[in-house]
Amino acid sequence: MTHTNVISSPGTPAGNSALVGALAAGFGYLWWGFSVVYYKATMIYPIWEVLAHRPIWTLLVTCAAVVLMGRFQILWAILKNKKLMGQLFMTSMIIGSNWLVFNYAIYESRVMETSLGYYINPLISVVLGVVLLSERLSRPQIVSVFLAACAVLTLTILQGSLPWISLYMAGSFAAYGYLRKVMAVGPLEGLVVEAMYLCPLAVGYFVYASGQETLIFGHEGQSIWAMLLLMAIGPMTAIPLFAFTFGAQRIRLSTMGLMQYIAPTTHFFLAIHYGEPFGTAHLISFGLIWTALIIFSADLFRQERRIRRGTKRA
């Protein structure tokens, strides 16, 4: 994924492109944030049934998008590439497990933990860059990562248990982001293949649930609206991804860096809305995380400004 450095004013074509890109990216992040409301509504179904439907409808939606956008040849080239298919199998398992933990958190009224996890995510990504790409941390980044570690430790000590949902959401999404970044695969084609890999597991569940007579979808007496609610899981997965990708290609890295906090902030306020507990442990932990992210974001702006100045001189 490439990021375009846009310096033009809003009145120029480049400025208009940046504005449209920012609106698209913001829409994508807001969609991800408010997806909690949608998944709360799907709780009329068992969690495993919701998860089983996600790759099925996602595959249908993304395949339709591939055809409409004329990208079938690109997809076909990926399907014939054994190395890429092997890498996408790995990312499909990671994102599938991420979906599982996310839905579990919603079903168990632990949305606050998903918020914390997605706040930690960019800092985990920085650590992965050090470990896997031999990148060096700046001093502000070191401070940010240290504060994030303190936040997790504080929550663990004061609550008496490890915030595993937060850590898994952050770690799995950071790993997924890293792997997808180093792969020569577009987000749309990649999601098609990942959904395709997860579909056999979904079909396996449908066969098992049908045998046990526990399958709810399409059951006699169920309303059409209840079925449409679950079928909408495909667009719910694909649309924000398209919006995010469209926006990411048109705005600066620093802008995208700030926008990534929209989703966890939305989760945070929704968790409060749904009456989830927010005690002293959460207050201290989130305070440390927010402080870390302010330092991290300021450093991101400083680094990008330096790069842009260097580009102008060149």
Q: What is the pTM of this model?
A: 0.83
Domain assignment present for residue 175? The answer is: yes
Is residue 138 situated within a structural domain?
yes
pLDDT at 92 over 50: yes
Whether the pLDDT of residue 178 is over 90: the answer is no
The answer to whether position 147 is within a domain reads yes
End-to-end CA distance of the chain, in Å?
24
**What count of residues does the chain have?**
314
Count each helix (H run) and each strand (E run) in the chain, helices first: 13, 0
Tell me what pLDDT residue 260 has. Answer: 82
Residue 13's pLDDT band (boundaries 50, 70, 90)? very low
Domain that holds residue 236: 13-313
Q: pLDDT tens, 26-55?
A: 898 899 999 999 999 999 899 999 999 999
The tally of CA atoms less than 13 A away on the side-chain side of residue 296 is 27
Task: Write down the pLDDT at residue 254.
Answer: 62
Q: Is 2 a domain residue?
A: no
**For the chain, what percent of residues have pLDDT higher than 90?**
46
Question: Does 5 reside within a domain?
Answer: no
Query: What is the reported pLDDT for 83?
Result: 93
Query: Is the per-residue pLDDT at 168 higher than 90?
Result: yes
Position 113 pLDDT exceeds 90: yes
Instruction: Work out the number of other CB atoms within 10 angstroms of the CB of residue 35.
Output: 20
- Output the CA–CA distances (angstroms, integers) from residue 263 to 135, 172, 200, 256, in the order listed: 27, 16, 30, 12
- The total number of structural domains in the chain stands at 1
Is 1 contained in some domain? Answer: no
Mean pLDDT for 234-258 is 78
Could you tell me if residue 7 is inside a domain? Answer: no
Distance CA(18)–CA(14), nearest Å, equals 6
Confidence bin at 24 (pLDDT 50/70/90): confident
Rounded mean pLDDT, 242-267: 78
**Which pLDDT score is estimated for 14?**
53
Three-state secondary-structure class, residue 55 = helix
Confidence of residue 15 (pLDDT cuts 50, 70, 90): low
In a domain, residue 3? The reply is no
